[in-house]
């Protein structure tokens, strides 16, 4: 079970500061690129905007979307398109998940979570496995979320767990309850399966 640190009532600035510190440590530890995966949805982007005001060598950062909707990058539902608009002007590289075949080891895996316990686009109906042999999956959520009724592409549980540390940002009491139950091993939702397989430090901001 994951060794998790819960940090309550964090602001976007608090999370940006934490990320900047972790990225700075990763840059200092290697002369090569630093690779992270980040979530979509509404929560990450204000945090990313603040993060990018920090003084770091963004040209060494490679950003992987943890998942995306299979839509053109200029579509408002595209996570990749939104990430490009933020990261690329700062000099960072954003990969296109739909054309990638091999997934690297991540210095940091940043995840969100839905109220149904899904992470990335690994919804409960997709029955994600810790021993999934594939690193990237194309899938169709069931039911399709009405706010984003699109097929998806997603990193798998083993891909997300191939990381030095895991970050969650969980907003809202309903999601917090789901996360706490998963952390305690009291559910079999996708987030619970990931936490059960996590050997690295897990930090959760609420």
Strands (E), the chain: 3-7, 34-38, 61-65, 67-69, 93-94, 108-111, 136-139, 152-155, 166-169, 201-205
Q: Are 200 and 163 in contact (CB under 8 A)?
A: yes
pLDDT in tens, 39-55: 998 899 999 999 999 99
Q: Which of 124, 62, 103, 108 is nearest to 203 (CA)?
A: 108
Span between the terminal Cα atoms of the chain, in Å:
20
Q: What domains sit in the chain, N to C, each tagged with a CATH number?
A: 3-205 (3.40.50.1360)
Asked if the model's pLDDT at residue 188 lies above 70, the reply is yes
What pLDDT does residue 141 have? 84
Over its C-alpha atoms, the chain yields an Rg (Å, rounded) of: 16
Q: What is the model's pTM?
A: 0.96
% of the chain residues with pLDDT over 90:
92
Q: Are 69 and 78 in contact (CB under 8 A)?
A: yes
Q: How confident is the model at residue 1 (pLDDT cuts 50, 70, 90)?
A: low
Asked if the model's pLDDT at residue 179 lies above 90, the reply is yes
Q: Which of 106, 15, 94 is nearest to 59 (CA)?
A: 94
pLDDT in tens, 109-158: 999 999 999 999 999 999 999 999 999 999 998 888 888 899 999 999 99
pLDDT in tens, 138-149: 999 888 888 889
- 3-state secondary structure (DSSP) of residue 52: coil
Asked if the model's pLDDT at residue 203 lies above 90, the reply is yes
- What's phi and psi for 101, nearest 5 deg? -115, -40
């Amino acid at each position: 079970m994951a060794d998790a640190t819960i940090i309550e009532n964090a602001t976007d600035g608090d999370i940006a500061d934490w990320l900047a510190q972790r990225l700075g440590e990763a840059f200092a530890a290697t002369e090569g690129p630093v690779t992270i995966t980040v979530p979509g949805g509404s929560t990450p982007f204000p945090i990313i905007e603040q993060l990018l005001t920090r003084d770091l060598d963004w040209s060494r950062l490679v950003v992987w979307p943890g998942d995306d909707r299979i839509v053109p990058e200029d579509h408002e539902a595209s996570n990749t398109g939104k990430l490009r608009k933020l990261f690329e002007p700062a000099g960072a590289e954003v990969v296109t998940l739909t054309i990638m075949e091999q997934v690297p080891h991540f210095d940091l895996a940043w995840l969100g979570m839905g109220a149904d316990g899904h992470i990335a686009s690994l919804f409960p109906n997709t029955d994600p496995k810790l021993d999934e042999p594939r690193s990237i999956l194309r899938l169709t959520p069931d039911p399709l979320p009405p706010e984003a009724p699109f097929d998806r592409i997603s990193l798998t549980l083993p891909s997300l767990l191939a990381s030095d540390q895991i970050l969650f940002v969980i907003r809202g009491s309903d999601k917090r309850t789901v996360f706490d139950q998963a952390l305690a091993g009291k559910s079999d939702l996708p987030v619970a399966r990931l936490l059960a397989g996590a050997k690295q430090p897990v930090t959760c901001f609420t």
